[in-house]
Structure 1
């Protein structure tokens, strides 16, 4: 018995090692997804001549959420949840006028795409455009800001951290390619609905008590100001997404995966 035990133990160890190596091989194989085959499977089921093409593509957009947190490195597509924007700028008014301001957002991160849902999709092949509406149960953003304003000769300069959470939120995105494959992409985003909002802007007013007061006023009365600030939100988001889409999708070979 004492002589058989090491032999049995060796066989068991060899079996465990072989099983572990086999399982590791399967795990590696399953984690290394054939991206081309996966994209072909999803996009290839949508035929542009079919009446249900738009509905098919809506479903594909939602299936693609599996890639939102990872991106597609093979095609230089960066993750969308979170996705990052290094710089976006908004200006209003002339520097020598009665009133003007300049807002710069840096190092912005946005979360919530993996929980979003595309509710409408429409393709306009003649204009090289797609339009889709997307719903987010919640979406959060954070980053750094720089704000400079001049009102009636009085200058104001602020900078600091900011964060924003939107609830029950939807937007409509229009994506248009200016020319043929590889040409620039133009993105326009329209806010459709904001059910709730929480915003914090560091150093907006001098002193912590005043800052807390400003946060309270903004978060309790933002609905009243939305019609005035909505165009600026649309412009900021559209500018950021034009850069993001050009970086990730300008050279993406869509025709490689779409069915005829």
Structure 2
């Protein structure tokens, strides 16, 4: 395997550790400042790649992530890595259909906050050095999200507009995340997230219908019927989450100076 492939793959491993740890080095007082460089070298060197036994390496990386869960809330300010509990997404957009055709819609989510990462658990980890990719499965006993939404739909010349606050709590939830670097170190990262399971859900969408009583009815329908609609909305959920995390990962990890910590 080429040195460039190793560097790309190691970069993804380190990035994933940050995503799951999200802040092991967030101490700001000089008198108690953790030696970030030494800790990074320790983190990278903790698991050793053995081509003859890749499962041992993958299990080691999974354990590293779960050992660092307590640090999700602080971020790594010295390397511009933002906290992941909660993590923030300022803008995510989803479009379907031709706005000049018979039907279309646009959904914009703003100022989204997501909570629950500190209680999550990585259950599987797999690395693919040749493809510069890592894939990990993650379980959340509870995950909650909130933010503002704007929804515009057109159907046969009739326009519908809604906006307001929304929140959602997911229970017994799991997802699989794939992260791939599309070129040399410093090039873009591509993230794809797949919802694997939702055991329970509670959701509120403000101003979905006109009037408080009708909105309460809408919430009741959504919360009692969401399982029937999930197969249809799952692809859109995957797209929204993948778009948000591609932006977040590139902002925090694209230019991380990996060469400082490789020996």
SS in 2 for 1:90: strand
Tell me the residue number matched to 2:68.
Answer: 64
Change (3 A) 1:256 1:63: farther
Unaligned runs of 5+ residues in structure 1 are 1-27
Tell me the residue number matched to 1:139.
Answer: 143
Tell me the residue number matched to 2:45.
Answer: 44
* Structure 2 residue 113 is the aligned partner of structure 1 residue 109: yes
Alpha-carbon distance in 1 for matches of 2:74, 2:248: 15
Deviation string, structure 1 residues 198-256 (Cα, Å, up to 9, x no partner): 11000000100110000000000000000000000000000000000000011223455
Q: Structure 2-normalised TM-score?
A: 0.84
Alpha-carbon distance in 2 for matches of 1:257, 1:192: 34
Tell me the residue number matched to 1:77.
Answer: 81
User: Which entry has the higher C-alpha Rg, 1 or 2?
Assistant: 1
Tell me how far 1:165 sits from its aligned partner.
0.5
Tell me the residue number matched to 2:180.
Answer: 176
SS in 2 for 1:182: coil
SS in 1 for 2:130: helix
Bigger drift between 187-196 and 48-57 goes to 48-57
Q: Structure 1-normalised TM-score?
A: 0.85
Bigger drift between 245-254 and 155-164 goes to 245-254
Alpha-carbon distance in 1 for matches of 2:240, 2:66: 25
Match of 2:240 among 236, 242, 245: 236
Alpha-carbon distance in 2 for matches of 1:189, 1:79: 19
Change (3 A) 1:253 1:63: farther
CA RMSD for the aligned pairs? Answer: 1.5
Alpha-carbon distance in 2 for matches of 1:30, 1:46: 30
Aligned residues: 232
Deviation string, structure 1 residues 138-171 (Cα, Å, up to 9, x no partner): 0001000000001222210000000011000000
Deviation string, structure 1 residues 61-115 (Cα, Å, up to 9, x no partner): 2223233101111211110001100000000000122221000000000001111
Alpha-carbon distance in 2 for matches of 1:158, 1:206: 10
